[in-house]
């Protein structure tokens, strides 16, 4: 004897989510069945709508509901300035800063040959063509500082230099307004190495 | 600028699940969009099927896809012996032991007056009627040993004694085959108090 089959199917389906094991999946199924049927239906609708309706922007690879995302379509954004990020969440972080008026290229990952993620999987062949096209003035690197992030940054640097496009990288250092005691050693070392004249 | 609206809706819908905050919800949405669209659709289908198709057994309150669950419908199960448990997961645990041939009454919770969960919410009025009906020979208490579990056990004891029905409780003690060093103090104290003659 097990749960009612529909309950077991729901528990099993939840375990496809990252970080969800059999126990959390059971807890999720019970919560929706016991006091959240309407929420459960809404989640079901949202899943179908997103799985069927979300594609990738043909220009920047970010999530989009049309061929181009709103940022790539906007005439207000400088299309000669491209910021390279790993994920849609990074785009969100830049947009929330309100300081950036260029466009993006979203890799949807980082180079990781052992996992089968090479330049093609990140759309870097497409980026290379655009760099060769001559419309891009500056490429800003904002990939992570892990081994994969560094490898990705260097690959992008290579193809940009081949195309004669200027490459910059966002500054690494201590966060604004933070106490130094909460900053990790590697960040502090980098901040020290990249120190600049002050009080000129 | 935010995510594509369908992506934001999906992330928001995931946060209705227990233990899922905005960050995990985002990770779940990205995982399905990036490499699990088919799994996402299956989860959507499973949600709709369960939200619409799962009801409660009219006899034992466990999840069921018909008026009665398979256990309550089975002629092989002794309907004069009823085990009181808090959740459908507890039924599963008993069934997996393979030792129990009676039926169940699933409270779908425990008494918790501060949360508005009284006897009615646990179906204890229905259980009381069945106890008065005279078909039940023995009630086995298998609720938890928390404050709420104890309160629930004592409430059930009261209504069973009023109906003249015998009440037993599953034994508490050290788990079979476990090392004593992993057993908590309260369990060990209870095991000591409930010690029985050995080697007779
Ligand atoms: Zn775009
Ligand atoms: Zn039943």
Are B127 and B90 found together in one domain?
yes
Q: What is the CATH number of the domain that holds B118?
A: 3.40.1360.10
Count of structural domains within chain A: 2
CA A143 to chain centre: 9
How far apart CA B75 and CA B81 sit, in angstroms, is 13
Whether residue A190 is predicted with pLDDT greater than 90 in this model: the reply is no
Determine, yes or no, domain membership for B123. yes
- pLDDT score, position A1: 47
Query: Is residue A47 less than 8 Å (CB to CB) from chain B?
Result: yes
Q: What is the CATH number of the domain that holds A43?
A: 1.10.8.420
- pLDDT tens profile A22-81: 999 999 999 999 989 999 999 999 999 999 999 999 999 999 999 999 999 999 999 999
Chain B residue numbers touching A53 (CB-CB < 8 A) = 6
- pLDDT score, position A142: 87
Are A114 and A155 found together in one domain?
yes
Chain A residue numbers touching B109 (CB-CB < 8 A) = 34
Cβ of A13 and B64 within 8 Å? no
Tokens of A5: 């089959």
Pick the most confident of A172-181, B63-72, B161-170. B63-72
- Residue B57 contacts by C-beta under 8 Å, 6 or more apart in sequence? B63, B64, B67, B68, B69, B72, B106
- pLDDT score, position B88: 92
Are A85 and A25 found together in one domain?
no
Are A110 and A36 found together in one domain?
no
Whether residue B51 is predicted with pLDDT greater than 70 in this model: the reply is yes
Helix spans in chain B (H): 5-14, 22-35, 37-53, 70-73, 88-97, 124-132, 147-162, 185-193
Are A81 and A102 found together in one domain?
yes
Whether residue A180 is predicted with pLDDT greater than 70 in this model: the reply is no
Whether residue A184 is predicted with pLDDT greater than 80 in this model: the reply is no
Are A23 and A87 found together in one domain?
no
Domain that holds residue B165: 63-169
SS percent in chain A: helix, strand, coil, step 5: 50, 15, 35
SS3 state of residue B57: coil
Cβ of A7 and B46 within 8 Å? no
Whether residue A186 is predicted with pLDDT greater than 80 in this model: the reply is no
Determine, yes or no, domain membership for B81. yes
- pLDDT score, position B194: 74
Query: Is residue B27 less than 8 Å (CB to CB) from chain A?
Result: yes
Q: Least CB-CB distance to A54: which of B2, B7, B16?
A: B7
- pLDDT tens profile B129-161: 999 998 999 998 888 878 888 899 999 999 999
Distance set, CA B149 to CA B94, B108, B155 (Å): 17, 12, 10
Whether residue B200 is predicted with pLDDT greater than 50 in this model: the reply is yes
Determine, yes or no, domain membership for A148. yes
| Residue B105 burial by Cβ neighbours in a 10 Å radius (0-12, 13-18, 19+) | buried
Q: How far is the CA of A60 from the centre of ligand 1 (A)?
A: 4
Are B99 and B37 found together in one domain?
no
Other Cβ atoms less than 10 A from the Cβ of B57: the count is: 24
Cβ of A29 and B50 within 8 Å? yes
Whether residue A185 is predicted with pLDDT greater than 90 in this model: the reply is no
Query: Is residue A36 less than 8 Å (CB to CB) from chain B?
Result: yes
- pLDDT score, position B145: 79
- pLDDT score, position A93: 84
- Residue B182 contacts by C-beta under 8 Å, 6 or more apart in sequence? none
| Mean local confidence (pLDDT), B103-107 | 95
Return the ∠ at Cα B85 (arms to B110 and B131), rounded to 5°.
Answer: 95
SS3 state of residue B11: helix
- pLDDT tens profile A124-142: 999 999 999 989 999 998 8
Are B42 and B77 found together in one domain?
no
Determine, yes or no, domain membership for A101. yes
- pLDDT tens profile A73-120: 999 999 999 999 999 988 988 888 777 889 999 999 999 989 899 999
Distance from CA of B123 to the nearest CA of A (A): 14
How far apart CA A119 and CA A165 sit, in angstroms, is 18
CA gyration radius, chain A = 22
Picking from B25-29, B51-55, B187-191, which range would have the lowest pLDDT averaged per residue?
Answer: B187-191
Averaged confidence pLDDT in chain B = 89
Are A73 and A14 found together in one domain?
no
């Amino acid at each position: 004897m097990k749960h009612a089959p529909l309950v077991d199917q729901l528990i099993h389906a939840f375990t496809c989510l990252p970080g969800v094991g059999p126990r959390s999946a059971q807890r999720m199924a019970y919560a929706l069945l016991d006091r959240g049927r309407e929420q459960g239906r809404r989640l079901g609708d949202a899943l179908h709508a997103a799985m069927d309706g979300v594609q990738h922007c043909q220009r920047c690879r970010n999530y989009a509901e049309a061929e181009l995302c709103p940022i790539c379509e906007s005439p207000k954004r400088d299309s000669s300035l491209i910021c390279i990020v790993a994920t849609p969440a990074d785009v969100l972080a830049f947009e929330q800063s309100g300081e950036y008026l260029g466009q993006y290229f979203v890799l949807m990952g980082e180079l990781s040959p052992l996992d089968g993620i090479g330049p093609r999987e990140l759309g870097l062949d497409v980026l290379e063509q655009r760099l060769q096209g001559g419309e891009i003035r500056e490429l800003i690197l904002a990939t992570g500082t892990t081994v994969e992030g560094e490898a990705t940054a260097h690959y992008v640097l290579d193809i940009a230099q081949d195309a004669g496009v200027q490459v910059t990288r966002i500054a690494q250092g201590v966060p604004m307004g933070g106490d130094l005691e909460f900053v990790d050693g590697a960040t502090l070392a980098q901040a020290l190495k990249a120190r600049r004249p002050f009080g000129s």
